[in-house]
Structure 1
Amino acid sequence: MTIYFYSTRETPYGCFSNFSRHGFELDGLWWTTSEHYFQAQKFVETDRAWFDKIHGIATPREAATMGRNREHPLRKDWEQVKDEIMYRAVLTKFKSHSDLREILLNTGDELLVENAPNDYYWGCGKDGSGKNKLGITLMAVRKEL
């Protein structure tokens, strides 16, 4: 069986979304969501003020929008480190919340797929041909836990 997830409103798998409001401490800061952490990391070395704004922004949707703003320079190694940064955020989130960890572990060895129609890297895309990197990350975290 394949478990599809996308919206934070989906029960019980909405917590798999990076927009789920399950905060954690990582790199000495409290992060409201894994989306906040991921998007801010794009600018940690290049624009600390923008990093700080993303860190403190109210919603994960705003953090995502800010992280996609190319008026601010990305760290040079972003393409090489983004998967590991996502892994660290997701692992920390699930280590920090026993209820979420239980949901993830209860998926057993099922395939996890982010059913994001407009995302062909982190999700499966509209036609299912995407790389599903968030689903793969969650399965790797599940294995580690």
Structure 2
Amino acid sequence: MCGYDAVQRLLVVHQSAPEYQSRITANHGSIRFYDRAYSKKTHYLSNTYIHHEQGKRVPICIDGQDFPSVEHYFQYCKFVYALKDDAEPQLVQQAKQDILMAERGRDASVIGSPKGSHYKKLVDPNKWKKVSDCVMYRGVYEKFKQIKVLKKELLDTFPCVLIEHTPQGGDKFWGNAGDDSGLNLTGQVLGKVREQLYKEQTHHYSCV
């Protein structure tokens, strides 16, 4: 229910439900997001988003470590789960520290990126490919599970399709490449997390 072809199916299934009619109509069946410059309203869906409450950052805590954003967690995990056998421990530790200290999610992405980063020699691309989907899912799930206001915002997007709308020619794997030709895996992960959180919420209410 997260790909582009799902838009029309969602419209058909939910268009008669009063609680969804206005939401679907207002968004034409989909909600697009990228960075703050693209849309302040939907920026919270982005992996680079850093949440603040009362002027203070609200971190995401995973396995006892605080991360400013999902992007920080995602890049950090490259140096946990996908190291080359000959990776130098001291350099690995420095890479993780630099990511944690990155001011913005986009800065963390640059540090962990295989393009130009002097840390790229530490990461085995094949190992990372095997685990990156699971890492992404966990990061997104923990973000919306832990930060209640964001959880409500995400649940309130249902049944709209979520699309990471990158710049034209941008990421074709995690995003939509700017023209909906990309796989939009970030949007698909968000859709799966939304579904899981909804199931957990309804189960909780049924047990109260």
Normalising by structure 2, report the TM-score.
0.66
Q: Counting helix residues as a fraction of each chain, which structure ranks higher?
A: 2
> Distance in 2 between the 1:87 and 1:102 partners?
18
Q: What's the CA shift for 1:15?
A: 0.3
Unaligned segments of structure 1, at least 5 residues:
none
Equivalent residue number for residue 74 of structure 1: 123
> 1:53 is matched with which residue: 98, 112, 119?
98
| Letter of the 1:35 counterpart | E
Aligned-residue RMSD, C-alpha: 1.5
CA–CA separation in structure 2 for the residues paired with 1:113 and 1:50: 30
Runs (5+) with no aligned partner, structure 2:
1-28, 52-58, 84-91, 198-208
**1:78-93 equivalent positions in 2, closer than 5 A:** 78-93=128-143
Equivalence for 1:139:
191
Report the structure number with the largest CA radius of gyration: 2
Name the CA distance, whole Å, in 1 between partners of 2:67 and 2:178. 30
- Note the C-alpha offset of 1:18: 0.9
After TM superposition, where is structure 1 displaced by more than 3 Å over at least 4 residues in a row?
Answer: none
Question: Percent identity over the alignment?
Answer: 34
Q: Secondary structure at the match of 2:174?
A: coil
Distance 1:105 1:11 in 2: 18
| Counterparts of 1:71 and 1:103, CA distance in 2 | 36
C-alpha deviation, 1:11, in angstroms: 4.0
Which string of whole-angstrom CA distances, capped at 9 and with x for unpartnered residues, describes residues 57-104 of structure 1? 222121010111254321451001101100000000001111111111
Q: CA offset at residue 28 of structure 1?
A: 1.2
Q: Does 1:4 align with 2:32?
A: yes
Letter in structure 2 aligned against 1:18: N
